[in-house]
Amino acid sequence: MSDNKNIFHGTTICCVKKDGKVAMAGDGQVTGGQTVLKQNAVKVRRIYEDKIIAGFAGATADAFTLIEKFEEKLNKYSGNLMRGAVELAKEWRMDKYLRRLEAMMIVSDGEKVLLLTGMGDVIEPEDGIIAIGSGGNFALAAARALIKHTKMKAEDIVKEALNIAADICVYTNKSIQLEVIG
């Protein structure tokens, strides 16, 4: 049997900050090997009293563990997104159990957009556009083109970027969940 890293695919999360709003969307597909297991999974959600949006890619149980840990940090630091993200990244990188989790997260409070990884990264994209997951590069390219060449709203850009990714990536579908903050 192959390594677990290569078995599960099927997430695309895209986030765009534009005109004082942050829109984050994710597709609903979960794939095991070459089989679609679920088409309407919710991978983008509101956390911390609905003040922060988070989207995750990776192993589902690992992603839920990270969201729980991130909410703990947000509670500890009174909803301070950057502080919570940095503290989670430090724990994620150093903790023997967390270090093995295979997931990534995009989080936003409407002001900042951050990418969190198990390598200890807390990255704020300079253009306010980020995408992760199987179709992440397709969605990222589409979002950057749409923000540059259209007058679309942030929420319309992420939806269209995910639709474009779904047309290209077999691990991405058009069952899109969207959250807007700001």
By annotation, the residues acting in catalysis are 11
Count Cβ atoms below 10 Å from residue 153 Cβ, excluding itself. Answer: 15
Q: Residue 20 region, left (φ>0) first, then alpha (ψ -120 to 50), else beta?
A: left
> 62 and 11 in contact (C-beta within 8 Å)?
no
Identify the bridge partners of residue 17 per DSSP, sorted by sequence position: 22
- Cα 142 to Cα 17: distance, rounded to the nearest angstrom: 14
Distances (CA, A) of 26 to 37, 57, 71, 135: 16, 9, 20, 10
